[in-house]
Structure 1
């Protein structure tokens, strides 16, 4: 399935809130959501009343775009979450949080999830000592994610942990000196940066 390759700031504007897709730019006054807080396109400023169907769709699209997940992958994650013990909506978010690209971003080893996907694709990371170049790889508690030794000397990675604006969540542990991190617990629902009503996504897929 083709991945969206247009301006990612348009996705944030379409959802009407920051999805932190652009890294450092999202925290400055240059963020398009701050400057033009309306949907993109010729009719973006027109007020539209959404139906229940539309509200559920927008919530699903928002979470998909937040994590950079395709529709096929997201539906697969929902089926996984539905079979797990606990609340399906929260399980879905936990599965998305455990993706390798999200973990790399959360550890501060990339400025955005998009950059994390690129770095993983280029083979810069290992999981438990083995190279993993699949951004959608689902990590587990106890996994150690580390920048490859050959990549640590690159200016790209120097100081990334220290300069990362987001706080590293409590379910992760960072060793900045060795440029590595460890998953020490399950992701917490309250650690997600944007407001999400996951029950709307469950309603969408339960039709």
Structure 2
């Protein structure tokens, strides 16, 4: 999860499902695990990543693989990145560690903090690299993303962001249903399914 131009280039060229016609089912699952871990869980240890799949879920079998990744969206570092306040999850991690992020008006120093529905996130404007100060104190800040990253920017429906106050509200956990998922990912649900099967089979 990064707006780095090299990362965006790689994601753009990996957006299509990998060719699987000549791969065994195990190889397809392993490749899906590698891809999803590289995007959704690069900031996690392998043990933390495996816990996602051990936790199970309340969804039907067709939506459970995608919902497995929904828990990650509650992590404060991921939410700060999704709000476009940081150019990467690792940058958001550092912002939180340096005391630039508050949750419900209280400084939060734990990047892995799990947000609850309705939690308000506030970020110090000086810590946001894409924010340019006005020439005078009375002029508002201007949010200016890098040109090459703008086509990739979006705000998920489960976040409400106000750039004038550098704050956001985590409305709810993303949902998934057959044919549609709110979990932001460069990979299709089929890839999530294969990654889920890799860990479920391994666990069994």
CA pair 161-199 structure 1, distance change in 2 beyond 3 A: farther
| Aligned twin of 1:176 | 163
| Aligned-residue offset at 1:141 | 1.4
| Aligned-residue offset at 1:24 | 4.2
| Aligned twin of 1:45 | none
Match for residue 128 of structure 1 among 96, 104, 111 = 104
CA RMSD of aligned residues (A): 2.9
8 Å Cα contact 1:98/1:187 also seen in 2: no
User: Does residue 1:63 correspond to 2:44, yes or no?
Assistant: no
TM-score (norm 2): 0.70
CA pair 185-155 structure 1, distance change in 2 beyond 3 A: closer
8 Å Cα contact 2:81/2:87 also seen in 1: yes
CA pair 153-194 structure 1, distance change in 2 beyond 3 A: closer
Give me the whole-angstrom Cα distance separating, in 2, the residues matched to 1:112 and 1:168. Answer: 15
| Aligned-residue offset at 1:152 | 2.6
8 Å Cα contact 1:142/1:183 also seen in 2: yes
CA pair 137-61 structure 1, distance change in 2 beyond 3 A: farther
Secondary structure of 2:102 counterpart: strand
| Aligned-residue offset at 1:163 | 2.8
| Aligned twin of 2:48 | 73
| Aligned-residue offset at 1:110 | 0.4
Whose strand proportion is higher, 1 or 2? Answer: 2
CA pair 141-154 structure 1, distance change in 2 beyond 3 A: closer
Match for residue 94 of structure 2 among 115, 118, 139 = 118
Secondary structure of 2:168 counterpart: strand
Alignment length (residue pairs)? 170
Which of the pair has the greater relative contact order for Cα pairs under 8 Å at 6+ separation?
A: 2
Q: Which consecutive residues of structure 2, in runs of 5 or more, have no partner in the other structure? A: 15-21, 133-140, 176-180
TM-score (norm 1): 0.70
